[in-house]
Structure 1
Amino acid sequence: MHTNQYGPESAPPVLLLHGGGVAGWMWQSLRRSLESRHRVIVPDLPGHGESSSEEYISHSATVNALADLVLQRVGSPVAVIGFSLGAQLSIGLAAQHTPLVSRVMVVSAQAKPMALSGLTLGILCLSAPLARRSWFARLQARQLFIPPELMEQYIDSSAGITKATLTAAVGDNLRFALPENWSRFPGQALVMVGQRERRRMRDSAAAIHAALPGSDLEVVDGCGHGIPLQRPEWFNARVSAWLSQE
């Protein structure tokens, strides 16, 4: 799994997990705001970005690969911030490899399995070739609030996603349910969702929060699905404040 690292190796480590269809570049603004005070670890998940030659197999396989990454590259517990697909993985990492996670921020995670996931996945796979078309990628980028300076990277990332990766990643995304051990995660947890996101996403955030006593739920006014990119300055400040909490 291709991974970039920024900041002093002796600083507190932060692992940033991007969403589906993008790559580690989505964290550019946040990474720059953190790297003077934190060791920032930014992987491109399998099948995405610089890891596009490595097919996405499953959420479970990716969580285990991320656990290996933390053990080999860091060797101590990390703060994990995940968005969308990455948010589901952050839950899995915190629940299944608890000693490796000091705290977790879950941003826009779906946690209510879709009854017609097979049909939805089939429709997405039929439209997969369109992702290689610049005009289609630009339309999709609007939903994630991709800024102009990152548009070409989004188009390249979108074009590099194979049908196999799309099927595996989106399939597990649509079927995702909270792991049992999530309710026993002992570290700090912040669950975040945009006030203008789909009802399923807002209900998912409420369910993730309810399943973990002591977690915090934050509904971000005026935001859709793409908080880190829609309101980067606000999000960066919010992350910095959260990381500094005792």
Structure 2
Amino acid sequence: MFYRDVGPSRAPLLVFLHGGGVGGWMWEKQVEFFFRDYRCLVPDLPGHGESESRTFSMSQSAEEILSLIKSNQNGAPITLVGFSLGTQVIVKMLSLDPWLADYAVINSALTVP
């Protein structure tokens, strides 16, 4: 999975997950604003952006991003930020690991209970 890692390695972690049909590039302005004070991880979900083309799976994407976060976790607070499809992945991630993040920004999840 392709991802960008920008900012100080010991800073609080911000993970940005994009919506369907786009890529991590949609967060460029936010990363420009936050990268001095936060470590920003910006993955391209499978089948999007610069990640290899393959079939998208919600469960597999959630597990891959959980692994990415855990391998880059530095003990600092974690904030997840998602839009649409990215938010659905965040909801799945939090169902797998409810204590993963200190904060989550859930925008346009469109999930069914």
Structure number with bigger Rg: 1
The ranges of structure 1 where at least 4 consecutive aligned residues each deviate by more than 4 angstroms after the TM superposition are none
1:62-101 CA-to-partner distances (Å, cap 9, x unmatched) read: 1011111111122545210000000111111122112321
Q: Which has the higher strand share?
A: 2
Residue 14 of structure 1 contacts residue 41 of structure 1 at CA under 8 Å; is this kept in 2?
yes
Whole-Å Cα distance in 2 between the matches of residues 102 and 96 of structure 1? 15
**One-letter identity of the residue aligned with 1:37:** D
Instruction: Identify the residue that residue 71 of structure 2 maps to in structure 1.
Output: 72
Higher relative contact order (CA 8 A, sep 6+): 2
CA contact (8 A) 1:5 1:40 kept: yes
Q: TM-score, normalised by structure 1?
A: 0.44
Residue of structure 2 in register with 1:60 after alignment? 59
Aligned mates of 2:70, 2:100 — CA distance in 1:
8
Does residue 24 (structure 1) correspond to residue 24 (structure 2)? The answer is yes
Identity between Structure 1 and Structure 2 (%):
35
Q: Unaligned regions of 5+ residues in structure 1, if any?
A: 112-176, 179-246
Q: Normalising by the residue count of structure 2, what TM-score does the alignment of the two structures yield?
A: 0.91
The Cα offsets for residues 206-226 of structure 1, whole Å up to 9 and x where unpaired, read as xxxxxxxxxxxxxxxxxxxxx
Secondary structure, counterpart of 2:31 in structure 1 = helix
Secondary structure of 1:20 counterpart = coil
Q: 5+ unaligned residues in a row in structure 2: which ranges?
A: none
> Are 1:13 and 2:38 an aligned pair?
no
Q: Which one has the bigger helix percentage? A: 1
Cα RMSD of the aligned pairs, angstroms, is 1.4
User: Mapping of 1:1-246 within 5 angstroms?
Assistant: 1-51=1-51, 53-76=52-75, 78-111=78-111, 177-178=112-113
Give the residue type in structure 2 aligned to 1:94: L
Work out the number of aligned pairs and report it.
112
Whether contact under 8 Å (2:10, 2:74) holds in the other structure is no
The amino acid across from 1:85 in the alignment is L
Q: Tell me which residue corresponds to 1:233.
A: none
Deviations 1:34-79 (A, max 9, x none): 011100110011001110x241341011101111111112254521
